[in-house]
Amino acid sequence: MTDTVDSPETSPWYRRIGPPTRYQWMTLGSVACMIGAWFLVTEFGLANELFLPHPEAVFKSFIKVATRGYQGSTLLEHVGVSLYRIMAGFGLACLVGIPLGILMGVSRSAHAVFSPAIEFYRPLPPLGLYTLLVMWLGIGEESKLALLFLAGLPGIIIATIQAVTQIDPIYVRAARSLGASRRQLLWQVYLPGAGPIILTGMRISLGFVYTVLVAAEIVAATAGIGWMIWDAAKFLLSDVVIMGLIVLGLTGVALDFTMRLIGRLLMPWTRRQRSVP
């Protein structure tokens, strides 16, 4: 009897994950094209290196900041401070926005009371809000977290309202006819039915929180990715700026992937909907 070596195609991991799809290859090709274009532009001197450094310079900057730090803090410390601010502001926005959105979605009175304030401040620019928050809360962490909270709140509320109002009334009437209480309606009808759209609103709101992170960290901060980018730009350290933007983008992608994974675990009925990643 001869020993056989399993090929990659017959391994349990391969059968579970499957081969890369055409769309995954397209994604990898798109990333490779962007990196290749960046490399060619800088290699042949088509752009001023002061404003667009070579990929190797950005990688060296990453190693330097990760090991020796930037302005007294390592890259891991900068990332940790920024992630704390992002998750604190975004988490508070979810804790307030989802229940408030459900209330506004099921009650016309609540919608009439809260909608004017939300619709008024939603289009206001973050820097305009930040000046007022600094006057009220000072230049410490409170004003930064408040700005991130206000940035993420409207999107969650609007998505939750939309999700709740789209639930088929037949499900609600059926649950009530079976004697479901308000709490049971909330946990067994509204949240399961509205969950996918709420998750989409949370992902969009997380992007809004990321967009105002730099604005939140430019005032009286000494650490954070946004502050590092802002401080490096003042000294024309474009390699540090681009490196910080790449790290900020990768952390955002990782958080978004984590949210989608948690959503699939908590809402397994959405796994059948694979048309949109």
> Same domain, yes or no, for 101 and 12?
no
Neighbours of 230 (CB within 10 A): 18
- Report the CATH number that the domain containing residue 199 is assigned in CATH: 1.10.3720.10
The whole-angstrom separation of Cα 197 and Cα 174 is 22
123 alpha carbon, distance to own chain's centre? 19
> Same domain, yes or no, for 37 and 61?
no
> Same domain, yes or no, for 263 and 147?
yes
Asked whether residue 48 is domain-assigned, the answer is no
Model confidence band, residue 275 (pLDDT cutoffs 50, 70, 90):
very low
User: What residues have CB less than 8 Å from 204, skipping those under 6 apart?
Assistant: 155, 159
pLDDT at 10 over 90: no
Q: How far apart are the first and last CA of the chain?
A: 46
Strand partners, 70: 73
pLDDT at 276 over 80: no
> Same domain, yes or no, for 75 and 25?
no
> Same domain, yes or no, for 105 and 217?
yes
Asked whether residue 277 is domain-assigned, the answer is no
Task: Compute the Cα dihedral for 50, 54, 57, 63 and give only its sign.
Answer: positive
Point out the least confidently predicted range of 26-30, 137-141, 181-185, 195-199: 181-185
> Same domain, yes or no, for 32 and 150?
no
Asked whether residue 2 is domain-assigned, the answer is no
Model confidence band, residue 1 (pLDDT cutoffs 50, 70, 90):
very low
Evaluate whether 96 touches 154 at the Cβ level (below 8 Å).
no
Return mean pLDDT, the chain.
85
Model confidence band, residue 166 (pLDDT cutoffs 50, 70, 90):
confident
Total residues found in the chain within this entry: 277
Angle (CA) 130-134-139 rounded to 5° is: 120
Asked whether residue 49 is domain-assigned, the answer is no
Asked whether residue 3 is domain-assigned, the answer is no
> Same domain, yes or no, for 37 and 142?
no
Look at residue 73 and give its three-state secondary structure.
Answer: strand
The DSSP 8-state label assigned to residue 270 in this structure reads G
How many structural domains comprise the chain? Answer: 2
> Same domain, yes or no, for 140 and 257?
yes
> Same domain, yes or no, for 92 and 218?
yes
> Same domain, yes or no, for 12 and 138?
no
Asked whether residue 159 is domain-assigned, the answer is yes
The whole-angstrom separation of Cα 242 and Cα 56 is 12
Asked whether residue 142 is domain-assigned, the answer is yes
Instruction: Read off the pLDDT of residues 100-124 as tens digits, 9 standing for 90 and up.
Output: 998 998 889 999 999 999 989 888 8
| Relative orientation angle of helices 75-106 and 141-165, to the nearest 10 degrees | 40
> Same domain, yes or no, for 39 and 70?
no
> Same domain, yes or no, for 149 and 239?
yes
177 alpha carbon, distance to own chain's centre? 40
Asked whether residue 75 is domain-assigned, the answer is yes
Instruction: Read off the pLDDT of residues 198-223 as tens digits, 9 standing for 90 and up.
Output: 999 999 999 889 889 888 888 878 88
Query: Where in the sequence is the domain holding 26, given as residue range(s)?
Result: 8-43
210 alpha carbon, distance to own chain's centre? 7
Considering only the C-alpha atoms of the chain, give the largest distance between any 2 of them, rounded to a whole number of Å.
Answer: 81
Share of the chain above pLDDT 70, in %: 90
